[in-house]
Amino acid sequence: MSKPAEINLTPDILVVGGGNAALTAALCAREAGRYVSVLEAAPKPYRGGNSRHTRNFRCMHRGPLGVLTGSYGEDEYFDDLLKVTKGDTDPALAKLAIAASERAYCWMEAHGVRFQPSLSGTLSLSRTNAFFLGGGKALVNAYYAQAEDAGIDLHYNAHVDHLSVSDTRITEVTARLDEVAYRFTPGAVIVASGGFQADTNWLARAWGPAAKNFLIRGTPYNRGVVLKDLLDQGMESVGDPTQCHAVAIDGRAPKFDGGIVTRLDCVPFSVVVNRDAERFYDEGEDIWPKRYAIWGRLVAAQPDQVAYVIIDATSRELFMPSVFPPVEADTIEGLGQQLGLPGAKLRQTIDAFNAACRPGTFHATELDGLATEGLTPPKTNWARPIIEPPFYGYSLRPGVTFTYLGLKVDETARVTGAGGRMDNLWAAGEIMAGSILGQGYLAGFGMTIGTVFGQIAGEEAAAHV
Amino acid sequence: MYDDTPDLATGTPHDEARRQLQICNACRYCEGYCSAFPAITRLRAFADGDITQIANLCHNCCGCYYACQYTEPHEFALNLPQALAQVRTQSWQDYAWPAPLARLFHRHAYATVAATLLGIAALFLLIQAVPAPASGTGFYAVLSHSAMIALFAPLFLLPLAALALGLRRYWRDVGGARPTLAQWRDALAQAAQMRNLKGGHGEGCNFEEGARFTPARRMAHHAVMYGFLLCFASTSTGTILHYGFDMPAPYSLWSLPKLFGITGGLLLTAGCVWMLALKARAEAHLSDPETTAADTAFVGLLGMVAASGLALYALGQTVAMPALLALHLGAVASFFLLTPYTKMAHGFFRLAALLKDAQARGV
């Protein structure tokens, strides 16, 4: 699409952000007859924020719905959320998101999103999560095509620097479009510009210098500029400002945008050591999807924020293929050397582990109780000696997925400021997800929040102007 | 240093495809687009034969490219449609006999143009040099039936033999077994519907409108394929009528050869024109850029075969007939000869890949 010849500085609704929540809000507002402009910070090839890396959304359904099997009721969904957040959620908002997710499925389909049966290797999600055909970028493409056809003004390379707050109104939005400064005076503003995880300085304030070694799994454009600007002006916040969601990923992943492929599923079948070739946690505590999320933190706490997974030939085929081939050697010492670990020490650690393994039946997909004896820390499942060459190794680093700090919203997605409920400011997506997801993570729930609150924000804002 | 992102340097087309397929296999978001992705996820490591098979299974719908998080400017620089297209070209060249001819015609548009002109010129000369018997009527008054058979029987059979040789090598390299009837049915049904150009959701592929899906390429391809098959049926029924029923040409409008020929000719001409228009709007970097011009020339030749055939039918009673006959038969001769060495070969390898895929899926 070619750029509009003139930039409309007074749209009815200005949407800040360009991912799932932003586009959903923009489409809903446009369908209610409003003039809408979207300011996406990324250039066109990187449009869509973290949504471009997503693959499914978690959806309530009373019976089989599209690609979803069985049923997934409100109560079960809410229970799943309580388990991961340990109660750190706003029940009213959470239930709202859950109840509306069924309608969201149909809305998404009507707006060009296509679903596919759950991907191979993720069968456990076929009942709860609807997978996007082609993944999140295909979803983003569908929404942008709809937005173009609907006559929404789309601007890429559009960086919002400041929203002027006067009492309970946003009076002006300053932005740079292709590095040219503009002042927008829209009727209403919807902020859907994500978290701040790409700003490693901000992360470092919470995590210390260690944060510089974190990899960011998603877009480099979620720098939290708008979030910080609004918080500085007294908007109510929610979520722990010091926390981010981090998982352990392939240490060779790019600094930004490594996305899904950088995950490693081999930890349960391995021995994990730190830089000094020492074990530090029970690798077999639980099945991997349930422990995936804690390993980011565990690795972050190790020296240099790095760890190394060691497996042998017997486990090579037990997990999803990795994006980069593992480092390979015929001896443990040789592997240690290639990984930059003290070889003799690694040998010692592996020998101690092997000696602690006990005979028993190994079962890759369930808790098999095959545990070590007399080892600290223990490995409580899948503990098989690492003896069959070739030996394989991967480095692990913390990969940040998202941050929890966000804007507090009410059930109409409206933001509350120092002077009370804002007249013309709504929020959707990751920037307000902390209201519902105070800690932990539930696969596909971010997209549910984004879609549901995107719809609410778009409809509410459209009704306001 | 170990912690650095691994070197992404690339070597042969197979090496580059292997690098990309490993990334795809760790992602799998595209599983629903076509048959190529389930074929990828069935493997953990990709031998050259596996890659050749996946490449020939790929219909270049480009759905995976537009859905991909890792296309440039991302450092993974994924462009699977191009990587597989390059492997495909390479495989058609390597399996062709003789291979140098395939290298020439797959990469150089001028070669196809020159061969076409040569074919037409040869037919003009032939018509001049070999006087038709006085008893000949219609086209046979210009070139005798026996001369046509003497010319076209080897022109048809020799390229088919060369193709068969290449397909046998392909089948060996991808580890194909003796196909069953059910596998043939499955593969032919896929080819007949061009299921792999539907995008998984039935809305078509991403060819000429960027990230948007359209059925245009699938429809154009259908026009070309079914048009071609109708033309082939026309010739076949003509041959059967001639030898089986002693009914030589010319045939009436309501005869099978004419009904097949006219509908097929119209479909094929329209399909080629449509395909050329789509190609002009497509992004060259999502296919093998080195073969774009040659492929275009080939579609042009195919369209010319069809259009000249139609012209011959329309103007067969006029003074233009002998010239049109030379034009048409010259184009047909070139087309036959070039079949194993141009884009035309893809149909045969694609069918083989679909057949092999049916085996891999346990049909």
The ipTM of this complex is 0.94
Q: Give the torsion sign (CA, A351, A356, A360, A362).
A: negative
Q: State the Cα–Cα distance between residues B282 and B292, nearest whole angstrom.
A: 10
Chain B residue nearest residue A149, CA to CA: B212
- Is residue B165 a contact partner of residue B157, using CB atoms and an 8 Å limit? no
Q: Using alpha carbons only, what angle is made at residue B257 by residues B251 and B262, rounded to the nearest 5 degrees? A: 100
Residue B268 has pLDDT above 50, yes or no: yes
Enumerate residues 6+ apart whose C-beta is below 8 A from A151: A30
For residue B89, count CB atoms less than 10 angstroms from its CB and return exposed for 0-12, middle for 13-18, buried for 19 or more: buried
Contacts 24+ apart (CB under 8 A), A263-267: A263/A292, A263/A320, A263/B26, A264/A309, A264/A319, A264/A322, A264/A394, A264/A396, A265/A319, A265/A320, A266/A309, A266/A311, A266/A315, A266/A318, A266/A319, A266/A322, A266/A394, A267/A291, A267/A295, A267/A309
Taking the C-alpha atoms of residue B311 and residue B307, their distance in angstroms, rounded to an integer, is 6
Q: What pLDDT score was predicted for residue B299?
A: 97
pLDDT digits (tens, 9 = 90+) for A334-377: 999 999 999 999 999 999 999 999 999 999 989 999 999 999 99
Give the per-residue pLDDT at A164.
98
CA dihedral sign, ordered B163, B166, B172, B175:
negative
* Partner-chain contact A323 B212, CB within 8 Å: no
Task: Give the per-residue pLDDT at B137.
Answer: 80
Q: Which two tokens stand for residue B49?
A: 């034969």
**Residue B2, CA atoms < 13 Å, CB-side half-sphere:** 21
Residues of B in contact with A135 (CB under 8 A): 27, 29-30, 67, 69
Residue B167 falls in which region: left (phi positive, over 0), alpha (psi -120 to 50) or beta: alpha
A153 neighbors A182 (Cβ within 8 angstroms) = no
Q: How far apart are CA B357 and CA B53, in angstroms?
A: 8
Q: If you count residue pairs, one on A and one on B, with CB atoms under 8 Å apart, how many are there? A: 105
DSSP at A326: P
The DSSP-derived string for B46-75 is --HHHHHHHHHH-----HHHHH-TT-TTST
Q: How far apart (Å, rounded) are the C-alpha atoms in residues B28 and B43? A: 12
Distance CA A309, CA A396 (A): 7
- Work out the angle between the directed axes of helices A74-85 and A91-110 (0-180°, nearest 10): 120
Domain coordinates of chain B in residue numbers? 13-92, 97-361
* CA–CA dist A41, A179 (Å, integer): 11
Distance CA A41, CA A182 (A): 14
Look at residue B8 and tell me whether its pLDDT is greater than 70.
Answer: no
pLDDT band at B141 (very low <50, low <70, confident <90, very high): confident
Res B185 pLDDT > 60: yes
- Confirm if A309 and A336 have CB atoms less than 8 A apart: no
Question: Min CA distance, B280 vs chain A (Å)?
Answer: 19
Alpha carbon distance A241, A434 (integer Å): 10
Which chain B residues have a beta carbon less than 8 Å from that of A260?
Answer: 26-27, 29, 69
Note whether B31 contacts A: Cβ–Cβ < 8 A: yes
Would you call A36 helix, strand, or coil by DSSP?
strand
Mean pLDDT for B205-226 is: 96
CB hemisphere CA count around A168 (13 angstroms) = 9
Q: Chain-centre distance of CA A169, in angstroms?
A: 31
Of the CA atoms within 13 Å of residue A395, those in its CB half-sphere come to: 23
Q: B3 pLDDT exceeds 50?
A: no
At a CB cut-off of 8 Å and minimum separation 6, what does B43 contact?
A: B25, B50
The pLDDT of residue B139 is above 80: yes
The DSSP line for A354-367 is: HHH-------TTS-
Helices and strands counted in chain A (H then E): 11, 20
Structure token pair of residue A344: 């003799």
What domains can you pick out in chain A, each with its CATH number? 7-209+404-464 (3.50.50.60), 247-399 (3.90.700.10)
Q: How far is A242 from chain B (nearest CA, A)?
A: 27
Amino acid making up residue A309: V
Q: Are B58 and B84 in contact (CB under 8 A)?
A: yes
List Cβ neighbours of B236 (8 Å cut-off, separation of 6 or more).
Answer: none
Q: Cβ of B201 and A114 within 8 Å?
A: yes
Cis peptide before B73 (omega within 30 of 0): yes
User: Could you give the C-alpha distances from A400 to A35, A207, B115, in angstroms and in order?
Assistant: 36, 12, 60
Nearest to B67 among A137, A144, A317 (CB): A137
Residue type, A175: A
Task: Using CB atoms, pick whichever of B68, B76, B212 lies closest to residue A145.
Answer: B212
Residue of B18, B69, B205 to mutate when probing chain A, most A C-beta within 10 A:
B69
The rounded mean pLDDT for chain B is 93
* AA identity, residue B62: C
Beta-sheet strands, E only, within B200-334: none
Q: Is the pLDDT of residue B4 over 80?
A: no
pLDDT for residue B136 = 79
Nearest CA in chain B to A264: B26
d(CA B94, CA B98): 9
* DSSP for residue A389: S
10 Å Cβ neighbour count for B351? Answer: 17
pLDDT tens column, A272-285: 999 999 999 999 99
Closest partner CB to A133 (pick from B69, B70, B200): B200
B274 reaches A (C-beta below 8 A): no
For chain A, what is the mean pLDDT?
Answer: 94
What is the model's pLDDT at position A123? 65
Cα–Cα distance between A337 and A172 in angstroms, integer? Answer: 58
Contact call for A322 and B201, based on CB within 8 A: no
Average pLDDT over residues B102-108: 94
Task: Please give the structure tokens belonging to residue A434.
Answer: 């902390």
A146 touches chain B (CB under 8 A): no
Residues comprising chain B, all counted: 363
The residues in B 61-100 lying below 8 A from A, measured between CB atoms, are 63-64, 66-76
Residues of chain B with C-beta less than 8 angstroms from the C-beta of A338: 2
The proportion of chain B whose per-residue pLDDT surpasses 90, expressed as a percent, equals 85
User: Is pLDDT at A1 greater than 50 in this prediction?
Assistant: no
Chain B residue with minimum CA distance to A44:
B73
Q: What tens digit of pLDDT does each residue of A89-146 get?
A: 999 999 999 999 999 999 999 999 999 988 777 667 899 999 999 999 999 999 999 9
Handedness of CA A315, A317, A321, A324 (dihedral sign): positive
**Residue % of chain B over a pLDDT of 70:** 97
Q: What is the pLDDT of residues A290-301, one digit of tens each?
A: 888 889 999 999
Instruction: Look at B6 and B216; give whichever has higher pLDDT.
Output: B216
Please indicate whether residue A79 or residue A240 has the higher confidence score (pLDDT): A79
* Angle A214-A218-A222 from CA coordinates, rounded to 5°: 95
Contact B59, A355 (CB under 8 A): no
Q: Which amino acid is located at B31 in the chain?
A: E
Nearest CA distance, A413 vs chain B (angstrom): 29
Average pLDDT for A401-409:
94
Label residue B253 by pLDDT band (50, 70, 90): confident
Three-state secondary-structure class, residue A407 = strand
- Comparing alpha-carbon positions, the chain B residue that sits nearest to A50 is B69
